[in-house]
Chains A and B, each alone.
Chain A
Amino acid sequence: MSALSLAGMTRMGDLQLDVDLVVEPGETVAVLGPNGAGKTSLLRLLAGLLSLDSGALAIGGATVDEPGTGAFLPPHLRRVGWVPQDRLLFPHLNVARNVGFGPGVDADRVAGLLDALDLTGLADRRPDECSGGQAQRVALARALATDPDVLLLDEPSAALDVESRHLINGVLASGNATATLLVTHDPVEAATLADRLVVLENGAVSQFGSPREVRSRPKTRYAASLAGLNLLEATASGTVAVTALGTRVVLAEPAEGPVHLVVPPTAVALHRSAPDGSPRNVWQATVADLQPAFERVRVVLDGPLPVVAEVTPAAVEGLGLKVGSKVWAAFKATEVACHAI
């Protein structure tokens, strides 16, 4: 039984949202897409604030919206927690009353969540006295307080400070095995928090797969540009980061502790022999796969740094690249973006 299954269509204004999506229990799915693609509408549809024109939506195996049979479960009966992009805290209630708004949420639950999200000192504050990061944490606590089966997060770390991000990720990780949908613009967030990515463009799913799948075989230009970034987990110390495979990556600016390294595929250069000169990160790799992608070819590399390089077809020909070929790969330290985890 899937946690959530949607196959349906709804029209709102100019946008037609036509989505096929199955989320398994315990899974976190990130929804990526350009502005106006229908990401927020998708969340509203799942919450029951919009309804389907055709098709069906089931949550936890129970049909909640099926225009064909007239079935429609209103939002307050769906057990779906929604953290909207604008937070939408109730302006006339203080933080504690916002978190405790849901019927049946008791004071202990509120106190526990305030504590977990470092909000205890703000319990009596009005929403307009909270910073963006605090408001975000309050909105999350309010949604979690009702113990939802499905959690919908709209841009959870937009405008968040690093500390709020840590707290939120921690609370999400320790939560019950609820299915989570996460709308985001941030490919790093998508790849680090999500088990699978949904790329939504113009109201339709253009790709649905694991971050690695989307990275190595993006089906659209948007997927390639946004979800197709190379992402490496590493531990930084000064200007050197060591990946899980023990490979050293040189950074342009010093960092400390666990980090995510993001390298655009276009920044990875391929050479027949070991290059000399400025690139600080050079290694020998094996070509695992070759994927044509929009006048370019994505070269999936195996080796000490499992990344994807994006090169022109002419370069592939010039280097004589085939699956299994040995090749030298390089990128500059300045091309690596380093995000603290």
Chain B
Amino acid sequence: MRRLLLAFAGLAVVLLALPIVGLLQRMPWSSLPELLGDDVTLDALRVSLVVSLVAAIVVLVLGTPLAWALGRTDLPGRRIVRALVVLPMVLPPVVGGTALLFALGRRGLVGQWLDRWFGLTLPFTLAGAIVAATFVALPFYVIAVEGALRTARRELDDLEGVASTLGAPPLTVLRRITLPRLLPAMGAGLALAWARALGEFGATITFAGNLPGRTQTLPLATFLALQSEPERALALSLVMLVVALAVLLPLRDRWLPGR
């Protein structure tokens, strides 16, 4: 029995490791500097960084109050909102992109008014790519911070109470007690959300298209290159692999506890 389990576990490890090995084995190491240095790659890298970083900021600004409302208030309808928050995680990204198109597109539910009143067009723009990335990334942050808030709710209530009796006004309590206690969860959630935004493909290509230099992110450029120039696809994949590892390493204490 034990052997059988170990065999299946080993198979799972192979399944996880094999693609990485395949990627590295075919990597065109010698032409790498040239492939990574040309305009297509640099444009995609720039678009990806802008999209993922702006998305991360929006996630932080909108996600923190949402996590607070879900984790520390007793507002009605929290269960429904919580389900809504998780939805982008389980929804196929293409469906998310389609939904965004019909909501925020030029003919969409809200999009037509944005277009008519503000002359604001989201689809097939950098801003649209940011909206798509935010849509898929938000749940990762909200869930991490809300979980931390809920677990520590009693402790936070108590510590904030003591701090206030010591004469600290609410903003000081937030700055010196609440935020420092939440910082690890916020950092972890933000790193995950950012990584998810960086890797976003389906919703972006559906909602924002694949315009080089404007909405073509690293994953889109990789997919495109695969058909004409596989070596470039490999080089771009390496960039994202390195980024993924860079995100994972600081989080290893959180997700890879023990030895």
Contact = CB atoms under 8 A, between A and B. Distances in A.
A85 B78 CA distance: 33
30 contacts: A48-B164, A48-B165, A49-B165, A75-B161, A75-B164, A75-B165, A76-B165, A76-B166, A76-B173, A77-B167, A79-B167, A80-B165, A81-B165, A82-B165, A84-B158, A88-B159, A88-B161, A88-B162, A90-B162, A101-B163, A101-B166, A102-B167, A102-B168, A103-B166, A103-B167, A103-B172, A104-B167, A143-B165, A145-B166, A146-B166
A84 B167 CA distance: 16
Contacts of A86: 158
Interface of A: 44, 47-49, 74-82, 84, 86, 88, 90-92, 101-104, 142-143, 145-146
Nearest to A148: B165
Given A84-B158, A101-B176, A103-B172, A92 B165 contact: no
A78 B165 contact: yes
Interface residues of B, number: 18
A52 B180 CA distance: 31
A90 B177 contact: yes
Given A92-B181, A146-B167, A82 B162 contact: yes
A79 B173 CA distance: 16
B258 interface: no
A240 B180 CA distance: 56
A76 B159 contact: no
Nearest to B172: A103
A174 B103 CA distance: 69
Contacts of A49: 161, 164-165
B166 A102 contact: yes
Given A90-B177, A92-B180, A92-B181, A76 B169 contact: yes
Nearest to A104: B167
Nearest to A142: B166
Contacts of A143: 165-166
Contact of A44 (B161, B169, B173): B161
Nearest to A74: B164
A91 B177 CA distance: 9
B165 A101 contact: no
A86 B173 CA distance: 19
Query: Most A CB atoms within 10 A — which of B159, B162, B164, B180?
Result: B162
A76 B158 contact: no
Contacts of A48: 164-165
Contact of A88 (B158, B167, B169, B170): B158
Nearest to B161: A49
Contacts of A82: 161-162, 165
A103 B168 contact: yes
A91 B169 CA distance: 19
Contacts of B163: 90, 101
Nearest to B164: A75
A198 B241 CA distance: 67
B181 to A, nearest CB: 7
A102 B164 CA distance: 9
Given A76-B169, A91-B181, A103-B172, 11 more contacts: A47-B161, A48-B165, A49-B164, A76-B164, A78-B165, A81-B166, A82-B162, A88-B161, A90-B163, A101-B168, A102-B168
Nearest to A43: B165
Contacts of B164: 48-49, 74-76
A76 B162 contact: no
A154 to B, nearest CB: 11
Contacts of A75: 161, 164-165
A143 B163 CA distance: 10
Contacts of B159: 88, 90
Contacts of B158: 84, 86, 88
A323 B163 CA distance: 55
Interface in B142-175: 158-159, 161-170, 172-173
